[in-house]
């Protein structure tokens, strides 16, 4: 995967480039808005990570210009402005996701991976399959092997989101945002409780667990390994 990081703070930019390279991605760096725009236009990137406040041209205007020219590369906005209305402003300008600073690299990585597969992935299939777990989005039927599973509506949506991003790490914040549509930060482990309920329904009594906890990051549904 090819990434372009547009960030003017040298230290955090270097950290990001290094961290992304360590997980095996190609990461390029632009340190002002103009350079970022021309690199984003010429290069063939899978995801752009754009800081909101940049010298020469600010992040939102950069995204707006790209979108006007028909460039649909997914964009993740990084910003020190983390409030609800700032996020809405960022998404309206053409951003695909918004992550307030300070963030953890695990959170950023998970979001970038989800964004990068938005273009190619199996997102709009009607039936999701992971191992012997099957979810039919139209009939709302969930089955593991031969067993039919009964899920609450919210559990269904939670599983649907996890299976849509099967094989990818999904963080707690991403779940809260995408399954519940809340953008605040609960002080308690609400999401973990929901996950453990879901887990007891889909994994309990089966030999191979599918829903895994990824330490320090979030959750992932996948078949294989362990």
Partner 1 sequence: MTAFGKLIRTTAFRLTLVYLFLFALFAASLLGYFAWNTRRLITEQITSTVNAEVGEVTEIYNRRGLRGLVFTIGNRALRPGANLYLVTAPNGQAIAGNVGSLAPGVMGIEGWTETAYRRLDDNDNTDHRALVRVTEMTNGFRLLIGRDLEERRRLFGIVAKAAQWSILVVVVLGIGGGIFVARRVLQRIDAMTGTAQRIMAGDLSDRLPVGRSGDELDRLAENLNAMLERIEALMTGLKEVSDNIAHDLKTPLTRLRNRAEEALARAGSEAGYRAALERTIEESDGLIRTFNALLMIARAESGQARGNMDDFDAAEVAAGIHELYEPLAEDGGMSLHVVTGPSPLHGNRELISQALANLVENAIKYGKPVVQPIDPEAAAAAKEILIEARREDDSVLLSVADHGPGIPEADRKHVVERFVRLEASRTLPGSGLGLSLASAVATLHGGELRLGDADPGLIATLVLPARAGAADRLAGQTQDVPQKAA
Q: How many CB atoms lie within 10 A of CB 200?
A: 11
Residue 204 engages partner 1 in binding (rule: CB under 8 A): no
- Give residues with Cβ within 8 angstroms of 79, minimum separation 6: 51, 52, 53, 59, 86, 90, 98, 99, 100, 101
- Find the binder of partner 1 among 120, 150, 187, 205 (CB under 8 A): 187
Residue 120 engages partner 1 in binding (rule: CB under 8 A): no
Residue 193 engages partner 1 in binding (rule: CB under 8 A): yes
- Find the binder of partner 1 among 10, 56, 69, 83 (CB under 8 A): 83
- Give residues with Cβ within 8 angstroms of 11, minimum separation 6: none
Nearer to partner 1, 42 or 150 (CB): 150
Nearer to partner 1, 18 or 154 (CB): 154
Residue 216 engages partner 1 in binding (rule: CB under 8 A): yes
CB of 196 to partner 1, least distance (A): 8
Residue 126 engages partner 1 in binding (rule: CB under 8 A): no
CA distance 10 to 3: 17
* Interaction pattern, residues 133-172, with partner 1; x per rule: CB under 8 A: ---------------------x------------------
Residue 189 engages partner 1 in binding (rule: CB under 8 A): yes
DSSP string covering 57-121 = S-HHHHHHHHHHTT----EEEEES--SHHHHHHHHHTT-SEEEESS--HHHHHHHHHHHHTTTTS
Q: Find, among 161, 167, 147, the residue nearest to 220 by Cα.
A: 167
Residue 53 engages partner 1 in binding (rule: CB under 8 A): no
Residue 188 engages partner 1 in binding (rule: CB under 8 A): yes
Residue 200 engages partner 1 in binding (rule: CB under 8 A): no
Q: Find, among 31, 202, 213, the residue nearest to 132 by Cα.
A: 202
Name the site residues for partner 1 (rule: CB under 8 A). 82-85, 88, 100, 102, 104, 154, 180, 182-190, 193-194, 197, 216
């Amino acid at each position: 995967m090819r990434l372009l990081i547009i960030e003017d703070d040298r230290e955090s930019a270097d950290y990001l480039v290094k961290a992304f390279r360590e997980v095996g991605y190609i990461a390029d760096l632009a340190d002002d808005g103009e350079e970022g725009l021309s690199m984003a236009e010429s290069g063939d990137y899978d995801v752009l990570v754009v800081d909101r406040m940049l010298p020469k041209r600010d992040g939102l205007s950069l995204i707006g210009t790209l979108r006007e020219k028909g460039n649909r590369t997914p964009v993740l906005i990084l910003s020190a402005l983390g409030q609800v209305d700032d996020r809405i402003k960022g998404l309206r300008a053409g951003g695909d996701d918004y992550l307030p600073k300070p963030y953890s690299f695990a959170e950023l990585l998970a979001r970038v991976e989800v964004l990068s597969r938005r273009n190619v992935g199996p997102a709009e299939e009607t039936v999701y399959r992971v191992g012997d777990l099957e979810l039919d989005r139209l009939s709302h039927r969930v089955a593991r092997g031969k067993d039919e599973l009964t899920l609450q509506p919210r559990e269904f949506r939670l599983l649907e989101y996890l299976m849509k991003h099967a094989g990818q790490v999904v963080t707690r914040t991403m779940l809260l945002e995408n399954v519940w549509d809340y953008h605040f930060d609960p002080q308690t482990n609400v999401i973990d409780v929901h996950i453990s309920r879901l887990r007891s329904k889909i994994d309990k009594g089966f030999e191979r667990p599918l829903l895994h906890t990824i330490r320090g990051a979030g959750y992932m549904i996948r078949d294989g390994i362990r």
